[in-house]
């Protein structure tokens, strides 16, 4: 083995050891999936609107590492909350919402609204209810994050949605879709 090859191999071994740790002292325990937007509240607004996810690895030595660009993301329609404000089943990605391998969510056509204003009085502030959402997880080294749930507000809301509550007439009376902050 020549000297350059030996030094390169030694450097790779040292790098792997520093990233993975020695023995079991630096084992990945959990992955936390978040977004910089509003803490635990996730809403994708407008066609072309984006939301950057962040995956943080939590290790047994109490250290954390940014895994955003190395995890594998999975996005599905939430099996429980799976309709839009018009009572249509949400479309599977990459329709309506896309997710890049770096954790960037983008709202795309066809537009949708997954929010319902439960306040029937148009003179009052909206009282938003999420009617549907997308469930996203991140996986690395056999560990999967907790799911996060993302609503989409890329179209106007349904002014006459009686699907969620037949007693409500003129739901989303202003045609809005979801909270703006």
Cβ atoms of 134 and 150 within 8 Å: the answer is: yes
Which two tokens mark 136? 């996203």
Residue 87: DSSP 8-state: S
The SS3 assignment for 41 reads coil
Point out which residues pair with 69 in neighbouring strands. Answer: none
What pLDDT digit, counting tens, does each position of 19-38 carry? 554 445 689 999 999 986 55
The predicted model scores a pTM of 0.77
- The structural domains of the chain, with segments of one domain joined by +, span 24-153
Radius of gyration of the chain (CA): 22
What pLDDT digit, counting tens, does each position of 83-102 carry? 988 888 999 999 999 999 99
Q: 1.10.3470, 2.60.120, 2.60.40, 2.40.30: which CATH number matches 24-153?
A: 2.60.40
Q: Which residue has the tokens 């902050």?
A: 181
What pLDDT digit, counting tens, does each position of 151-171 carry? 999 988 776 655 555 544 455
């Amino acid at each position: 083995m020549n000297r350059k090859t030996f030094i390169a191999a030694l450097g790779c071994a040292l790098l792997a050891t520093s990233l993975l740790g020695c023995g079991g002292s630096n084992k990945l325990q959990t992955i936390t999936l978040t977004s910089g937007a509003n803490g635990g509240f996730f809403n994708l607004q407008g066609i072309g609107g984006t939301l950057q996810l962040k995956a943080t690895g939590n290790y047994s030595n109490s250290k954390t590492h940014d895994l955003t660009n190395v995890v594998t993301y999975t996005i599905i329609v939430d099996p429980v909350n799976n309709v839009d404000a018009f009572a249509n089943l949400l479309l599977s990605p990459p329709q309506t919402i896309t997710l890049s391998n770096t954790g960037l969510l983008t709202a795309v056509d066809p537009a949708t609204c997954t929010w319902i204003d439960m306040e029937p009085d148009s003179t009052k502030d909206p009282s938003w209810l999420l009617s549907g959402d997308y469930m996203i997880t991140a996986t690395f080294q056999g560990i999967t994050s907790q799911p996060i749930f993302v609503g989409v507000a890329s179209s106007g809301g349904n002014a006459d949605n009686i699907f969620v509550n037949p007693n409500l007439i003129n739901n989303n009376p202003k045609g809005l879709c979801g909270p703006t902050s």
